[in-house]
Structure 1
Amino acid sequence: MRCQTLKLYYLLFFIITLSLSHSANSKSLLHLRRGASISVEDNTFITSPDNSFTCGFYAIPGSNPCWFAIWFTNSKDKTVVWTANRDRPVNSQGSRVSIGGDGTMVLTDVDGSIKWQTNTTSTDDVAAAELLNSGNLVLKNTRGHIFWQSFDFPTDTLLPSQTLTKNKRLVSSLRKGSFESGYFNLYFGNDNVLSSIFDCPETSSIYWPNPNYDIYKNGRTNYNSSRIAFLDDVGMFRSSDKLKANASDKGFGIKRRLAIDHDGNIRIHSLINSTGLWMITWQAISQPCEVHGVCGTNGICVYAPTPKCICTPGYEMNDPSDWIAGCKPTFKEALLSSPVNFLELSQTDYFGFDLYFRPNFTLEACRELCLGDTRCKAFTYRTWGNGHCYVKSALFNGIMSLDFPGSTYIKLPRSVQVSKPSIFHGSSITCDSREAEILVDSLSMYHFNRRTVRWVYIYSFCGALGAIELIFVVLGWWFLFKKHGVPASVEAGYCMISSQFRRFNYGELKKATNNFREELGRGSSGIVYKGVLADDRVVAVKRLGDVFQGQDEFWAEMTTVGKINHINLVRMWGFCSERRHRLLVYEYVDNMSLDKHIFNSSFLGWKQRFAVALGTAKGLAYLHNECLEWVIHCDVKPENILLDIEFQPKIADFGLAKLSQRDGPGSKISKIRGTQGYMAPDWALNLPITAKVDVYSYGVVVLELIKGIKLSNWAVDDTDDDEIPLKTFGMTVKEKVQCGNSSWVDSIVDQRLEGRFSRNQAATLIGIGLSCVEENRTKRPTMASVIQTLLECEDETEMQNPDKL
């Protein structure tokens, strides 16, 4: 038995060594000289001097098509940033790229046909191709003069130091995981404004910046002629139309890319070196359903709660693999000749295609207007003032939103019996999310002739050898871990490494907390205890009250909340759902909650307060826009903002609004949540609860950070001790700002700081705080815009003391 074990070990060692020797055959070049070439079979790549980027043949695993591309070397999925032949892939066998004698770089397919080439000529003194540290592939001569560069021909990505000008545009991929050109474009229009447009053969529609506003209300200007945009090395995105955006991790030393993604949104992605994964650090559109065309004609984008597409009732998908293709009628009758009914879709609108607009119109008059026009497919009635009527000639990409004050009435033949989708009744839906396959130009291209048939045998042999290797590795793993009885603790440790989230049993947590002895704090949702797990991790265990749902529902919600991970959110390590026990296990945060550091003698300095405001905004922006499933906190307050050992903020209890029992089957929060003094007026007005309730609470926290005391203690000046409501205080502040009273900033900031603070930062924070606590929620900013404003003054170093002025 022992000999057999040794033989198995030696065989495994031999196979792994053979595998490594195969991978070692790949070659890296810093230059591809004139007259030289590389082929798919060569396994040769051009790399940048710092090894950040790689250029060569790129194939999607399991598929035959191949592209000549540039990608991030150290990203986990080898993220492609440029392709020469995005719409004309070549064969993954026999294809070649070369620099000919005339200095032209040429990509040829297996049959010798040219699929792509540079626009260089014989008069250009091209010596070699080189991949720069910026990710730019260039053709240059011996003196360093560049004749051609990939930066001039972007695909869907803009890299730092690469410019987007009036003659260039970024074009999204057709679908996730493909390279084909899609329908979303980022470009400079004739009005000199950087814009995004959905542009398919049937329809074109600009969706960013917001087409409902004019240029200046969108914060842009068309008084420029340079038409240039770029992403710099610190994560700042700028364009000549006065667009300014910042990555939330602004700073040097981070690999970033700006891309127009397959869903039409423009985002800055930052590479996490430790994992090789990407993190979204800025996006242009916070609500994905606002992207025109994402669900196609006759489709509707809904939040359930993540964005999904459904067809308008009475319609079905044109292409089950592609929502952008939209939906087609299920009925054959013409709306012109058959009796019709109207189906109401509440809180639903469709982009554009208005035949008529009639303000101050009745619902019945709007209905008659649609009935009287054969071109009318539906009408939208907005309940603003006396009512507004919009008669639609097409149903282009509908959007269902709780914020939309109106309904759309779909015209359908009376013979068609349809009902509203379940989403309109408040419950969730499941939509088809299949992706279309990657298409190639010609199938006949990939039938091998006699010259290439021998490659079939070679690759078949290599594939068989790889399969045998995989079998032996799996057998070895099974033999080592099962036959030799590796302790369960090792298996548990492996699971913890692969997934930092687990389910605890009640006995474990009872032991870890020493029978729930050391209490850290308590609130409306439960009591928090300090504990130490078996692996010596210090944790905070929250014992929830009896208001949380049953075991199955709790488990389902926890699998979502447990995946949420951000530096400014308290990390959840796991949970317990056992009989009547509901417990959450969090990382232990050293410096307690924010209220302990601003409402007593242990107060924070100005830099720490500004960092808390910025970090809290980043955490909330992640919850609202970037995590796997949108989360509204509903109880943002200093007690729920914890400070780590470096006094960086971490938001706690961010999943409790999601975990709480709802009154109905849908995702609408019907039970009032929050803490008096921090609750938005939306609750009292019985408005649909959106992320703007968190924005309001954040504004109160920011104003308390500035003043250093609870809002209930605020007074207008030192001679008046009467308590002033927040609304009155805000009006007073605005009056003083308008009067140009510069000393007012010093009078409002926490006197314990003794004037040691940045006036510019203080004024910015006060402005943000007041805008966040607007009663009209449409006037409150998004957390993404708050971050951008704060980042613009983050580097402010002015620390003035009025006594020394």
Structure 2
Amino acid sequence: MGIKFISPLILLSLSFAFFHCSLATHPSTLERGSSLSVEQHEEDVLTSPDRAFSCGFRKVGTNAYCFSIWFTNSEEDAVVWTANRDAPVNGRGSRVSLRRDGKLALTDVDGSTVWDTNTSYAGVSTAELLDTGNLVLKDRDGHVLWQSFDSPTDTLVPWQPLTKGKRLVSPIAKGARRSGYYTLYFDNDNVLRLMYDGPEISSIYWPNPDSTLYQNGRSNYNSTRIAFLDEKGNFHSSDGFKALASDLGVGIRRRLTMDYDGNLRLYSLNESTGTWSITWEALSQICNVHGLCGRNGICEYYPGIRCSCPPGYEMSDPADWNSGCKPKFNLSCSNHTQQQLHFIELQETDYYGFDMSTYSTMISFEACRNACIQSCDCRAFGYRLAGNGLCFPKSSLFNGYKSPNFPGSIFLKVPISVVSSSSSNQSVVTCNSDGSTVTTSSSLRYGNNRSNTKWVYLYGFAASLGAAEFLFIFAGWWCIFRGRDTTKSVEEGYRMISRQFRRFTYRDLREATGKFKEELGRGSSGAVYRGVLDDKRVLAVKKLTDVMEGEEEFWAEVSVIGRINHMNLVRMWGFCSEGQHRLLVYEYVENQSLDKYLFGRADSGSSLGWNQRFKIALGTARGLAYLHHECLEWVIHCDVKPENILLDRDFEPKIADFGLAKLSKRDGPGFNISRMRGTTGYMAPEWALSFPITAKVDVYSYGVVLLEILKGSRVSDWVEADGTEKSLRSLVAELKEQLGGSDESWVRDVVDHRLRGQFNHEQATAMVKIAVSCLEEDRSRRLTMNEIVKLLIACGEKDADRI
């Protein structure tokens, strides 16, 4: 007769015994004379007593393994230390052994020693993996004789120090373990730096090499050279640098990693899902990392990292952007004077560094161009008119980047044959960071050593830099009629218009705003006032009413926000923190906020044509995508609405108040904001459900705004327009049903009637589809802002002329 009943007590006992046995297979110590086998790499593992870290063999390729330490509960490959990252061992016959001579040694299949701790005869008794993630060798008295903390690879865990002579070195590629080209280290002047150390060049890119130590908030008057991450999420360095995790607090597993793309990032672990989120990063603009696209390559955010080759160049290795681009022409010194040389202008583009000794200021464009023509070593020149003529002849083309915020151009020296084979809108094949290729249009201008270059340049200059030209002319007038020194006047004028992010006094802002006289607007976080500085710059000052941070935390957070720079985000110029006063200083945006045009008088609403509306929808999406994906992954706006979308003189949208979610008080693990933020009608359902807040709350709010751009009225008014109140949820369901039908006449009812039918039907339909996806109740089904930008760009390029 079979057993029909088993006592629950017996089941519990068996379960406990099984659990105990399973734990016993993963001890935290390795005794002298014992070893771990690569064939049994899933069973031969050391696990820290709290089970947070594991140590053993980790697969890094086909039949290739490394001896590593990693986070146990991570879904991703969160390795924090590797003994043999550049010399993996065979998947058969390899072992790591604590020898009787006291060495912890890694041997390959042929018995050769690949790595060891060099601790012979030091009295080593055991190897132990601690709760901190530190692998240590101890003697019988418990003294530590060797530790993995002393030889970091690409990651620091809390309380692991980075000291003089130690470095974090990035992996060569995403998912790889082999050493790459990016390094975090203490330089000889005691300053913590990031450096690209590639096959051809070495270049420091963080902190900003164009700024002084003081401007970067650093000091070289401390030779201790130590940096570490604490358990709360504070990263400290002896040169005065300090960074704070956005989820500051104890109880969260964290790691500071030198990533493959050259950015230093702080990650926090969600132990319930095993996923990691970025809670701080050193560079908000990834193209400021040097070497990303190799020699001659150009880095651009569009959105996501994109590398491209300039006209006349092609990829050196189609499988590897680190190899950069090579010219398809021969520009040798032997025939330099005989060649007909021309220049191709790449607007809003620069190559950082490698300026020749002929660099000069107060020089005309023609003189700069001629100097490059006459020098065989000159490959290109950069030129800017920003108060004075700045000429940057380049001997090599590295660290290329393109940004709409860059006020100059680079002029590539090429033979005339390259110009002849190109058009003014040349198609350039580029490669995304994921390896996929896309074809885009690159706007080019051409120049040569004849007078037509002058007029081509001046025409482009007048169109793009009219304001700078005015200042230059004004400086010349001042020199002629006042007898002042030209160089001093121009340089002083330029300094006035390019003053960087700074700390204002309360008295400065009180005087600038006329004792806060002219109020521009008011929201839940405070009121905004118009002001004028002594240098005549108009600014907007926001007085915050509910910021809980102390002086140091406020300084750290606004300094991070002040480095955020995107054409679709309102630029922060500075801040004030004195006593109880907390003020943020922004650029002044001329045309005020979007709500004035959508929901204002009929005549003002009708001034927004369809092309303007589509541009506003796309620009707003780009700004949010920058915050969510390119800038700092944890910068979530939390209050996206038309009142926080400002319009400049060209009706280009600029998102305001994007830093206030970070400046709000938070408590607990994860991104749990202590009080609900946002505006009724734009808030995602998860706010009311007390779920952890993610970037998808902004996606939801963007969906509401997108419908309002289409309709020209509040969604709250729209759902009640027929006299019967219905929820936004039912409106979304109705739009879904209409999108699935064959009759498309409903689109006219969705679009603002003030446009009188003058709109692009395909673009409007696409915007409705995007909005419906944004407004999904299940946030996992909502699009990301990156995906939205790509959809809008594709729609805009396809239907640009169809209205």
Structure 1 length-normalised TM: 0.55
For the Cα contact (< 8 Å) 2:296–2:325, is it kept in 1? yes
Where does structure 2 lack aligned partners over 5 or more consecutive residues?
1-17, 437-521, 528-543, 573-593, 599-607, 625-639, 666-803
Tell me the secondary structure at the aligned position of residue 183 of structure 2: strand
Could you say if the C-alpha distance between residues 324 and 74 of structure 1 is closer, same or farther in structure 2, counting changes exceeding 3 Å?
Answer: same
- Residue equivalent to 1:610: 548
Could you say if the C-alpha distance between residues 264 and 632 of structure 1 is closer, same or farther in structure 2, counting changes exceeding 3 Å?
Answer: same
- Residue equivalent to 1:67: 66
In the TM superposition, what is the alpha-carbon distance from 1:312 to its structure 2 partner?
Answer: 2.1
For the Cα contact (< 8 Å) 1:402–1:688, is it kept in 2? no
1:78-93 equivalences under 5 Å are 78-93=77-92
- Residue equivalent to 1:144: 142
For the Cα contact (< 8 Å) 2:548–2:664, is it kept in 1? no
Could you say if the C-alpha distance between residues 596 and 67 of structure 1 is closer, same or farther in structure 2, counting changes exceeding 3 Å?
Answer: closer
For the Cα contact (< 8 Å) 1:624–1:632, is it kept in 2? no
1:538-687 equivalences under 5 Å are 595=523, 609-610=547-548, 632=568, 683-684=648-649, 686=650
Percent of paired sites with the same residue: 48
- Residue equivalent to 1:298: 296
The counterpart of 2:372, out of the listed 363, 370, 373, is 370
Cα distance between partner residues in 1 of 2:26 and 2:54: 9
Q: Deviations over 1:237-289 (max 9, x none)?
A: 01110001100100000000011100101110011112111110001110000
Q: Which residue identity lines up with residue 54 of structure 1 in the other structure? A: S
- Residue equivalent to 2:344: 343
- Residue equivalent to 2:394: 392
Q: Which residue identity lines up with residue 58 of structure 1 in the other structure? A: R
Cα distance between partner residues in 1 of 2:428 and 2:244: 35
- Residue equivalent to 1:382: 384
- Residue equivalent to 1:354: 355
1:367-516 equivalences under 5 Å are 367-417=369-419, 431-433=431-433
Where does structure 1 lack aligned partners over 5 or more consecutive residues?
1-19, 437-593, 600-605, 637-652, 703-805
Q: Which residue identity lines up with residue 385 of structure 1 in the other structure? A: G
Could you say if the C-alpha distance between residues 607 and 118 of structure 1 is closer, same or farther in structure 2, counting changes exceeding 3 Å?
Answer: farther
In the TM superposition, what is the alpha-carbon distance from 1:697 to its structure 2 partner?
Answer: 9.4
Cα distance between partner residues in 2 of 1:282 and 1:631: 22
In the TM superposition, what is the alpha-carbon distance from 1:351 to its structure 2 partner?
Answer: 0.9
For the Cα contact (< 8 Å) 1:39–1:97, is it kept in 2? yes
For the Cα contact (< 8 Å) 1:305–1:428, is it kept in 2? no
For the Cα contact (< 8 Å) 2:615–2:652, is it kept in 1? no
Could you say if the C-alpha distance between residues 434 and 358 of structure 1 is closer, same or farther in structure 2, counting changes exceeding 3 Å?
Answer: same
In the TM superposition, what is the alpha-carbon distance from 1:322 to its structure 2 partner?
Answer: 2.0
Could you say if the C-alpha distance between residues 164 and 332 of structure 1 is closer, same or farther in structure 2, counting changes exceeding 3 Å?
Answer: same
For the Cα contact (< 8 Å) 1:229–1:239, is it kept in 2? yes
Could you say if the C-alpha distance between residues 313 and 53 of structure 1 is closer, same or farther in structure 2, counting changes exceeding 3 Å?
Answer: same
The counterpart of 1:179, out of the listed 167, 177, 180, is 177
In the TM superposition, what is the alpha-carbon distance from 1:430 to its structure 2 partner?
Answer: 5.0
Cα distance between partner residues in 2 of 1:109 and 1:701: 54
In the TM superposition, what is the alpha-carbon distance from 1:330 to its structure 2 partner?
Answer: 1.6
1:687-698 equivalences under 5 Å are 694=657
For the Cα contact (< 8 Å) 2:46–2:129, is it kept in 1? yes
For the Cα contact (< 8 Å) 1:196–1:206, is it kept in 2? yes
- Residue equivalent to 2:588: none
- Structure 1 stretch 287-296 or stretch 62-71: which is displaced more? 62-71
- Residue equivalent to 1:47: 47
- Residue equivalent to 1:267: 265
Cα distance between partner residues in 2 of 1:217 and 1:610: 26
Cα distance between partner residues in 2 of 1:340 and 1:149: 60
Q: Deviations over 1:363-419 (max 9, x none)?
A: 111100100100000000012113210000011021101111110000111122477
Q: Deviations over 1:709-738 (max 9, x none)?
A: xxxxxxxxxxxxxxxxxxxxxxxxxxxxxx
Tell me the secondary structure at the aligned position of residue 371 of structure 2: helix
- Residue equivalent to 1:119: 118
Q: Which residue identity lines up with residue 371 of structure 1 in the other structure? A: I
1:324 maps to 2:322? yes
Structure 2 length-normalised TM: 0.55
- Residue equivalent to 2:212: 214
Q: Which residue identity lines up with residue 299 of structure 1 in the other structure? A: G
- Residue equivalent to 2:127: 129
Tell me the secondary structure at the aligned position of residue 56 of structure 1: strand
Q: Deviations over 1:550-588 (max 9, x none)?
A: xxxxxxxxxxxxxxxxxxxxxxxxxxxxxxxxxxxxxxx
Cα distance between partner residues in 2 of 1:253 and 1:264: 28
Could you say if the C-alpha distance between residues 432 and 401 of structure 1 is closer, same or farther in structure 2, counting changes exceeding 3 Å?
Answer: closer
For the Cα contact (< 8 Å) 1:26–1:44, is it kept in 2? no
1:156-175 equivalences under 5 Å are 156-175=154-173
Cα distance between partner residues in 2 of 1:335 and 1:667: 47
Cα distance between partner residues in 2 of 1:261 and 1:699: 24
For the Cα contact (< 8 Å) 2:568–2:620, is it kept in 1? no
- Residue equivalent to 1:106: 105
Could you say if the C-alpha distance between residues 204 and 194 of structure 1 is closer, same or farther in structure 2, counting changes exceeding 3 Å?
Answer: same
1:726-765 equivalences under 5 Å are none
Q: RMSD of the alignment, in Å? A: 4.6
Could you say if the C-alpha distance between residues 229 and 172 of structure 1 is closer, same or farther in structure 2, counting changes exceeding 3 Å?
Answer: same
Could you say if the C-alpha distance between residues 158 and 688 of structure 1 is closer, same or farther in structure 2, counting changes exceeding 3 Å?
Answer: farther
Q: Which residue identity lines up with residue 229 of structure 2 in the other structure? A: L
For the Cα contact (< 8 Å) 1:353–1:392, is it kept in 2? yes
Could you say if the C-alpha distance between residues 295 and 662 of structure 1 is closer, same or farther in structure 2, counting changes exceeding 3 Å?
Answer: farther
Could you say if the C-alpha distance between residues 668 and 389 of structure 1 is closer, same or farther in structure 2, counting changes exceeding 3 Å?
Answer: farther
Could you say if the C-alpha distance between residues 80 and 696 of structure 1 is closer, same or farther in structure 2, counting changes exceeding 3 Å?
Answer: closer
Cα distance between partner residues in 2 of 1:690 and 1:698: 17
Q: Deviations over 1:467-489 (max 9, x none)?
A: xxxxxxxxxxxxxxxxxxxxxxx
- Residue equivalent to 1:288: 286
In the TM superposition, what is the alpha-carbon distance from 1:306 to its structure 2 partner?
Answer: 2.0
In the TM superposition, what is the alpha-carbon distance from 1:56 to its structure 2 partner?
Answer: 0.2
The counterpart of 1:33, out of the listed 28, 31, 34, is 31
Q: Deviations over 1:14-63 (max 9, x none)?
A: xxxxxx99x96993122111111110123310110000000000014x72
Q: Which residue identity lines up with residue 368 of structure 2 in the other structure? A: C
The counterpart of 1:202, out of the listed 189, 193, 200, is 200
Cα distance between partner residues in 1 of 2:29 and 2:621: 64
For the Cα contact (< 8 Å) 2:307–2:321, is it kept in 1? yes
- Residue equivalent to 1:315: 313
In the TM superposition, what is the alpha-carbon distance from 1:299 to its structure 2 partner?
Answer: 0.5
Could you say if the C-alpha distance between residues 45 and 660 of structure 1 is closer, same or farther in structure 2, counting changes exceeding 3 Å?
Answer: farther
Cα distance between partner residues in 2 of 1:357 and 1:413: 23
- Residue equivalent to 2:96: 97
Tell me the secondary structure at the aligned position of residue 648 of structure 2: helix
Cα distance between partner residues in 1 of 2:432 and 2:526: 50
Q: Which residue identity lines up with residue 47 of structure 1 in the other structure? A: T
Cα distance between partner residues in 1 of 2:561 and 2:214: 28
For the Cα contact (< 8 Å) 2:365–2:389, is it kept in 1? yes
Q: Which residue identity lines up with residue 86 of structure 1 in the other structure? A: R
Cα distance between partner residues in 2 of 1:417 and 1:197: 36
Could you say if the C-alpha distance between residues 368 and 253 of structure 1 is closer, same or farther in structure 2, counting changes exceeding 3 Å?
Answer: same
For the Cα contact (< 8 Å) 2:567–2:623, is it kept in 1? no
Q: Deviations over 1:155-188 (max 9, x none)?
A: 0101100000111010000000000100000000
Could you say if the C-alpha distance between residues 227 and 697 of structure 1 is closer, same or farther in structure 2, counting changes exceeding 3 Å?
Answer: closer
In the TM superposition, what is the alpha-carbon distance from 1:610 to its structure 2 partner?
Answer: 3.4
Could you say if the C-alpha distance between residues 374 and 212 of structure 1 is closer, same or farther in structure 2, counting changes exceeding 3 Å?
Answer: same
Cα distance between partner residues in 2 of 1:350 and 1:181: 26
